[in-house]
Every structure is written in structure tokens, then in C-alpha cells.
Amino acid sequence: MRKLLLSAAVSATFSFPLMVSAQTAPAPAPAAEPPALTGNFGVFSEYRFRGISQTFKKPAIQGGFDYAHSSGAYVGNWNSNVNSGAGYPGGNLEMDLYGGWKKTWGDWGMDVGGIYYYYPGTDSNTTLGLIGNPKTGATHTGAVNNKELYIGGSWKFLSVKYYNSMGDYFSVPGTKNSNYLDVSGTYDLGGGWGTVAHVGSLKVKNFSNGNYIDWKLGVTKDLSGWILGASYITTNAKGSCGTTPTEPYCFGNDSAAASSTKNAGNSTIVLSVSKTF
């Protein structure tokens, strides 16, 4: 679930005066084209997707690649370890495949595309029956997955993106057309320092108990292309493990005793180091 949870890479740009006479000034050199194929790698103290812990509050190793064409078209892949207790029984890997079209016009930008979340080795049959879902008892065979279309716009350091699920949201029956709204901003403080802020809102179709808002506020530091990040993340998701019945975002750790559970949406600080190459 790639997301927007990744630390923002913010770097300072410097310019230097060119000593030439007015009569012989050369034509400006063409701007260097960014690499068409790039990779990314990161280590995070915890993987949070839309504010919800995916690794039972343990570290995550993440990485992928992106290919961008001069027309604005792009495709990519991103991967992370996950905990089976976060709704992925029998699985411990997330694989995201995405593609779309992205373009900028001065300070303005637009991004449209689709993303497919896949969890190899999982069997969704054992994840159904969420509290508050009127489709309890319905079945969804095969691996857990999610398919979303998105459209977004940006202005300077602000961006807004809307996601809509084209099938059952992470294989929970009856949740097609669930949606998520992401409002984010990054700001360059200079000297390699930057800030990132985010607020998101999830609306799960036919499952109001799964709705919540998440917030994020962080800082980044660029050290020769390596981005160090620290972010405070919190939500108002229903994740209390002391209620009867248990709330939907109380996740268990399948590798431990059945009584080992945690509120997957409570406040946390995520530390990270990442690099794009």
C-alpha cells in the first residue's frame, strides 16, 4: 500500500553566477532530463498505511522502481513486508503495481492512474466477518488484493489525491467503491531540511465502523541523497482491544499467542532512512 506514507525527499537547489560578457553570452543549456528508470529503497521503524500499522509495530524494509516517459506516462512497482495479522492470513509480503499519467504546468500538476495491491500466499476466506459489515458471511476466495483508481492535483507544495476502490476493499465483501482522500504538503526549509504534513480520510462502503481520519507531521534531512525522516502519525480509527466485540483495527500477531493484540491506529513516531537512485 504505497502510499503516501513514504518520507518526502526534499532537497535544496543552489545556483551560481556565470561570468560572461553580454556580447558573447551563450544560449542557456537545455535542462537535464531526469532518469527514465529510478529505484527506491528504505528502512522504516514501522510500516503505516493510511495511518494503520501493517507490521504489528515492527520494522519494515521497502523498495521498488519507477519508469517515467517524457509524455507523462509512468509505471512502477513497490514492495514491503507486512504482518499476517493485519488482514493478510498466510502472507508476509505486499506487492503494488501501478501506472498512470502525470504532468505539470508551472506551479500546477495533475496525476491520474490506477494501483493494484497484491499479497501473495494469502487466503481471504479467513479474514471475513468484520464487526459492523452487513455482508458478514459472504466469501471472497483467493489472495487478498485491492484495486483502486486515483486522480490528483497539486499546486506548489500542496497536493490532493482521491482514491476509489474498483472491487471489494482489501477483499472485504460489500465494500466496493470505498474511497480515500489524501491532502498533503511538503516544504523546503533549506540546508537539506524539509517538512511534510498530511491528513487523510477513509470511507469504507457499507462498513461505517471502518471509517476514520489519519494525520501525519514530519521532518526530513537530506544527507548526500540519503533521506532521514521522523514523522508523528495518529488516527481516530476504532482499534481498542479491550471492547466486546473487539473493534476493527485491533490487530493480532499471528506469530505470537492469540492474546497478543495491538491498536493498529494509535499514535506513533516512525523513523526512516531512504534513498532514490
Per-residue model confidence as pLDDT tens digits over 100-120: 999 999 999 999 999 999 999
3-state secondary structure 99-159: EEEEEEECCEEEEEEEEEEECCCCCHHHHCCCCCCCCCCCCCCCCCEEEEEEEEEEECCEE
> Which DSSP letter does residue 18 get?
-
More confident: 211 or 12: 211
Reported as a pLDDT band with limits 50, 70 and 90, residue 141 is confident
Domains of the chain, first to last = 37-276 (2.40.160.40)
Per-residue model confidence as pLDDT tens digits over 10-60: 333 333 333 333 334 445 555 556 669 999 999 999 999 999 999 999 999
Quick check: 127 pLDDT over 50?
no
Question: Are the beta carbons of 232 and 243 closer than 8 angstroms?
Answer: no
Query: pTM of the prediction?
Result: 0.85
Element (H, E) at 67: strand 60-68
